Amino acid sequence: MTPQFNFLIGGRAVGDARECFAVINPSTGELLGEVAKASPADVAEAVRVAQQAQPGWAARSDQERAETIRLLAATLRDNAEQLAAWVAREQGKPLGGLGPETVPGARFELSACQAWCEVNASLSVPHEVVFEDQTRRDEVMREPYGVIAAIAPWNWPLMIAIWQIVPALRMGNAVVLKPSEYTSIATLEMVRILAQVLPPGVLNVVTGAGDVGAALVQDPRIGKILFTGSTATGSRIAAIAAQRIVPTTLELGGNDAAVVLPDADPQAIAMGLFWGAFINMGQTCACIKRLYVHDSIHDAVVSELSDLVRAMPVGDPLAEGTVMGPIQNRMQFDKVTRLVRDTVQQGRGRVVCGGEPLPGPGYFFPLTLITGVRDGDAIVDEEQFGPVLPIIRYDKVEEAIASANRLDLGLGASVWGQDPVQTRQVASQLQAGTVWVNQHGAVHPMVPFGGTKRSGWGVEFGVDGLKSVSTQRVISIRK
């Protein structure tokens, strides 16, 4: 019998007699389970319960909340293997191997979840005296927003949910989470386990498609919205939030450029470029989606990358030796297939490796390198969000910088080369929330992360991330 997975309100599983939706294994096309769909009344109840639980949680001492977050890390560690298996089955990331050979797969995602918990437990935002003289003293304290709506995507379902949930809880908020309908089972399993160490109602989850997310963000009791996903949906959410002046953090799509300078060593940078582009089959907001390589080393870089691409085993995510899995869902698979086919049919590029979907079942698409493409080609200008890397040859560094900056997105970017002065100088000219030097996508729980332009606004991680899930209260005292 197909298992049914229920959502969680106030620490209780809810979902009997609800309509269900199917969750598919993207490697096989098989049904993994049925997930209960939250009704508008369920969403309203989740917010009510969160609102009721929040003052008690906020009243606990900062240290007590930090201890609880540490318990979440320990709980994730104890359950890492079973949750990683759900991520591999449902999201499609390979487990990632064991020991020194580990690659960034499902086990890596679980380790990142623990690391974010531990770092958030170790940080705090103390009250700050910002001004004092003989006449007055001004202190800034941080207050929770109340109930935070967290909307998470399907690419890193557990890690991104943790990025949203944990800072929010740390600062004394309660949370109602809406995972993607494609990756609801792993998320429900994780929240069920985490909720066991939290007071009831502090962390709730409601499942369903975009309409459930829309009902959640429209609830007038929501104090702040955290959203990670597409620019189109982010824009819709921002419009709803604007009507009630509800603050949002929007972490949206990117189309990150990497600029390889003439003095870069192709062999030395190849592995960094490979993972920068293909981590999670390219389904990562901040990964290299346009690679600009100087003419003098273009062929050598392409050759190094294609050797790596050909050596990486693509297949069953549950097999220990697999390095790359399927594309996560049909919509994404069709988008990638269309972009590559159009490029080839219009004679706009040369496929160096990959290029055609692999025979089914499952949404398997090979790692693909395309050369000979230019700015303006759809495969360069549109965020393909898949295992495809368009490589663009350039002549002058200023041209590459202009190309990198010409789109209206600005999540991440990177520059690769040996001269620290030149790489730093190019980095300072690239328009993105984070510019990496000789690495790409290397996010860290202590380092603020967020987009510019239409890649979103607000930051996550570190002390800035904690501030973003709390509101300031200034206490101004006349002496």
Interaction between residue 153 and ligand NDP (CB under 6 A)? yes
- Which region among 50-58, 104-112, 227-235, 337-345 touches ligand NDP (by CB under 6 A)? 227-235
The residue within the footprint of ligand NDP, chosen from 8, 69, 175, 237 (CB under 6 A), is 237
| 3-state class (DSSP) for residue 343 | helix
Which residues between 85 and 114 bind ligand NDP (CB under 6 A)? none
- Which region among 136-144, 194-202, 246-254, 346-354 touches ligand NDP (by CB under 6 A)? 246-254
Q: From CA 366, how far away is CA 386, in angstroms rounded? A: 10
Asked if 373 and 390 count as a contact pair (C-beta separation under 8 A), the reply is: yes
Q: From CA 23, how far away is CA 36, in angstroms rounded? A: 11
Catalytic, 251? Answer yes
Interaction between residue 213 and ligand NDP (CB under 6 A)? yes
**Nearest distance in Å: CB 180, ligand NDP:** 3
Look up tokens 């690495």; give the residue: 439
Q: SS3 string of 66-133?
A: HHHHHHHHHHHHHCHHHHHHHHHHHCCCCCCCCHHHCCCCHHHHHHHHHHHHHHHHHCCCCCEEEEEC
**Nearest distance in Å: CB 416, ligand NDP:** 23
Interaction between residue 209 and ligand NDP (CB under 6 A)? yes
Contacts 24+ apart (CB under 8 A), 60-65: 60/172, 62/124, 65/169, 65/170, 65/172
Among candidate residues 45, 90, 251, 460, the one labeled active-site is: 251
The residue within the footprint of ligand NDP, chosen from 252, 339, 400, 426 (CB under 6 A), is 252
Which residues between 377 and 396 bind ligand NDP (CB under 6 A)? 383, 385
| Of residues 156, 97, 95, the one with CA closest to residue 443 | 156
Interaction between residue 13 and ligand NDP (CB under 6 A)? no
Q: In the complex with ligand NDP, which residue's Cβ is closer, 32 or 293?
A: 32
| Of residues 314, 325, 313, 320, the one with CA closest to residue 92 | 325
Q: From CA 102, how far away is CA 324, in angstroms rounded? A: 12
**Nearest distance in Å: CB 455, ligand NDP:** 8
Q: In the complex with ligand NDP, which residue's Cβ is closer, 304 or 383?
A: 383
Asked if 399 and 356 count as a contact pair (C-beta separation under 8 A), the reply is: no
Which residues between 162 and 201 bind ligand NDP (CB under 6 A)? 178, 180-182
**Nearest distance in Å: CB 338, ligand NDP:** 12
Tell me the site size for ligand NDP, rule CB under 6 A.
28
Interaction between residue 155 and ligand NDP (CB under 6 A)? yes
Among candidate residues 34, 45, 90, 285, the one labeled active-site is: 285
| Of residues 400, 397, 383, 385, the one with CA closest to residue 454 | 383
Structure tokens at 298: 């273009």
| 3-state class (DSSP) for residue 438 | coil
| Of residues 388, 386, 432, 434, the one with CA closest to residue 408 | 432
Look up tokens 């009507």; give the residue: 243
Q: From CA 455, how far away is CA 430, in angstroms rounded? A: 14
Interaction between residue 236 and ligand NDP (CB under 6 A)? yes
Q: In the complex with ligand NDP, which residue's Cβ is closer, 285 or 323?
A: 285
Catalytic, 383? Answer no
**Nearest distance in Å: CB 328, ligand NDP:** 9
Interaction between residue 328 and ligand NDP (CB under 6 A)? no
Interaction between residue 75 and ligand NDP (CB under 6 A)? no
Q: Residues interacting with ligand NDP, by CB under 6 A?
A: 151-155, 178, 180-182, 209-210, 213-214, 217, 228-230, 233, 236-237, 251-253, 285, 332, 335, 383, 385
Catalytically active residues, by annotation: 251, 285
